Structure 1
Amino acid sequence: MNFSRLRTTSKVTGEWKYDQPVANKSGLLQVDAAPDHKLYWEEYGNPDGEPVMFLHGGPGGACAPPMARFFDPKRYRVILFDQRGCGKSEPTVASAGPQVALTNNTTDHLVDDINKLRDALGITGRMHVFGGSWGSTLALTYAIRHADKVASLILRGIFLGATEDLLYMYQGNAATFTKTPYALTEPGAYIAYPDEWKAFVEVIAPEERGDIMGAYKKIFDMVPASQAERERQLQAAVAWSVWEGTISNMIPDNADAGKFGEADFALCFAQIEAHFFANGLFLEPDYIVRNVGALKGLDIHIVHGRFDQVCPLSQASRLVAALEEIGAPPASYVKTDAGHSAMEGQTVLALTAIMNGLPRIG
């Protein structure tokens, strides 16, 4: 049988409508002291265009220039920035350690940072807010609190952050893995990625697998006293990061983990995520669904991959149902034949089409 024509990845190839733009300008904005959190930001597109605030995933995922390719550079002024503790912001978990970079690093701080960045960049009216995965959580939270500053919400890979959502991704059958590693004892992303799951689970000792997230957090909270402990912490961070990076794509590229396998990225990504997840995202339980009424009147667009195993489609369906219940259904709800990543072909096409069809601000 000839397998040469089978697609080996679901990542975007020729689906981009716009070429990679060059940033107009960039900078560091100090948003806090003790520690001195500084946000790295970049501006793309039309400096006089409609503002788009891009909120990356994770928490701790950071931005990259290709994220500016969803937007017509003649129409939009696109702001990419790295949230606290990651990317090119300062200090990062990788450079200063979690004890520093995770101080004053909560959802409330991140929401306030968006307004500080708005003010610093002279954005005075409404703006489009574009967020995927954790970025959708942050975008929704921001809009609930500051609806007067939002023209539209463009959301991808909805993440509501309920306990069952986290257990689906990180716990799965880990408690029974030692005895029956391939038994489908609990729902979870491991069902579609058994080999990758094995690598993730086996970082943790069998007796600690009843709480995988807690076991990883214990390693991340350790202050390494030896080279062996530093290596153990890095091993755990890379395993956490690669697990999410791999299952983000419907067809993963197992030969190349990309940024998820890089030490600095993995340390930031894994430790910030574990910090937020251990603290319930620093939100009251079911915060978004319970406060969805504050979103009434906003232009909301949702794109979600049908085969998403990081944030299963049920999360988007739950949000849509809550919006419909208050008489505010989303303006569009697109289910793509894709996984979680924004960088999958159908999702790129859908998000670009939505941005091109948005009503103009003002």
Structure 2
Amino acid sequence: MDFSRLLTTSKATTEWSYPQASANRDGYLDVGAGHRLRWWEYGNPDGEPVMYLHGGPGGGSSPLMARFFDPKRYRVILFDQRGCGESEPNVAKDGPAAALTNNTTSDLVDDINRLRDALKITGKMHVFGGSWGSTLALVYAIRHPQHVASLILRGIFIGGREDLLYLYQGNAATFAQDPFGLTEPGAYVAYPDEWAELINFIPPEKRGDIMAAYKTIFDMVPANEAERDFQFRAAMIWSDWEGAISYMVPMEAGRDPGKFGAAHVALCVAQIEAHYFANDMFLDTGYILNNVDKIAGIPTHIVHGRFDQVCPMTQASQLVAALTKVGAPPASFIKTNAGHSAMEGQTVLALTAIMDGLPPLK
């Protein structure tokens, strides 16, 4: 049988409007407490500023992220958040004691202002974020609305406990007895093979809290090479799970080599995510939804994949409902036939169209 016409991935190919470019300039910014942020600037140095907030937490930036923006119009700032990518210290290379100390949501919000000041952004800027980046963008806008011209958000992550349980817990507690039992809601329903790999790495007696079980592994200080290899395998499995389910049509082996393929990158993502998840994102329960009145004056654009299993659309719907309740419905709410990744074709088209259509900053 010939299956050659079946889609092998939903990743964007010809949907990009703008070519990949090199950064105009780049550098490091000392933000205190032993942390230095790696940053890059793309596009028009005199253009409308865009602060791009990457996901994860711990996912890091990529030059590809600059392709959503017209390089003649926008001045695009990319940076690696604390502990990840090329920022220093890096949690996978330098250890959690160094990289996760003074690494909270409030620290990251303050870093955005430090970067604004260092790059001499004095007026309002567009804030663009997806997944965890949407969380950080919303928190930043709630605390500093005077700096935000517009919010462009993709794959909304509100950060609630139930959302994390959907992604990481599912039917794990009963998996040993009934691996196909639909005992709890969860992303595992659509990705049973990838789910089995995530769960089978953890002994049955520890599956009552999968996130805690993995965090124990990520937090350990390896005493020898065997323990280091064990930790790397856990991180790869953790990161591969998210990577596999981020696309409506998963790529071969469910892995995006650019982000998840290297063991140290996977460990970095895993350790920082586990750190934030264990601390409820360092936010009070319901923080974002309870404070949307503070961003009522900011035009907010939302793009969410209808088939997103990392951050199901219920999170976007909650945000839309909360904004509407305070008299500030989104300027646009686009539901794409896509999964979670920003790099899927329909999502690329939607995000680029929003940026192209924003009214010029005065």
Shared fold (TM-score, shorter chain, > 0.5): yes
User: Which residue type is aligned with residue 263 of structure 1?
Assistant: A
| Residue of 80, 91, 96 corresponding to 1:93 | 91
Residue of structure 2 equivalent to 1:143: 141
| 2:209 is aligned with 1:187 | no
SS at match of 1:31: strand
Task: Check the 8 A contact 2:18/2:67 in 1, yes or no.
Answer: yes
SS at match of 2:197: helix
Deviation at 1:2, TM superposition (A): 2.9
| 2:13 is aligned with 1:3 | no
**Which residues in structure 2 correspond to 1:121-160 (within 5 Å)?**
121-160=119-158
RMSD of aligned Cα (Å): 0.7
| 2:102 is aligned with 1:104 | yes
Deviation at 1:332, TM superposition (A): 0.2
Residue of structure 1 equivalent to 2:65: 67
1:73-100 alpha-carbon deviations (Å, 9 max, x no partner): 0000000000000001011011101111
Residue of structure 1 equivalent to 2:38: 40
**Structure 1 stretches of 5 or more lacking a match?**
none
Residue of structure 1 equivalent to 2:117: 119
Deviation at 1:334, TM superposition (A): 0.1
Structure 1 distance, partners of 2:177, 2:224, is 33
Structure 1 distance, partners of 2:227, 2:294, is 47
1:248-294 alpha-carbon deviations (Å, 9 max, x no partner): 01111133441213111101100000000000000000100001100
| Residue of 221, 224, 239 corresponding to 2:222 | 224
User: Which residue type is aligned with residue 333 of structure 1?
Assistant: F
Deviation at 1:163, TM superposition (A): 0.6
Detail structure 1 runs of 4+ shifted over 4 Å in the superposition: none
**Structure 2 stretches of 5 or more lacking a match?**
none
Q: Percent of pairs identical after alignment?
A: 71
Residue of structure 2 equivalent to 1:206: 204
Deviation at 1:226, TM superposition (A): 1.7
Task: Check the 8 A contact 1:17/1:352 in 2, yes or no.
Answer: yes
**Which residues in structure 2 correspond to 1:1-362 (within 5 Å)?**
1-33=1-33, 36-255=34-253, 256-258=255-257, 259-362=259-362
Task: Check the 8 A contact 2:306/2:335 in 1, yes or no.
Answer: yes
TM-score by length of 1: 0.98
Structure 2 distance, partners of 1:264, 1:218, is 17
SS at match of 2:208: helix
TM-score by length of 2: 0.98
Task: Check the 8 A contact 2:8/2:252 in 1, yes or no.
Answer: no
Task: Check the 8 A contact 2:232/2:264 in 1, yes or no.
Answer: no
Task: Check the 8 A contact 1:241/1:261 in 2, yes or no.
Answer: no
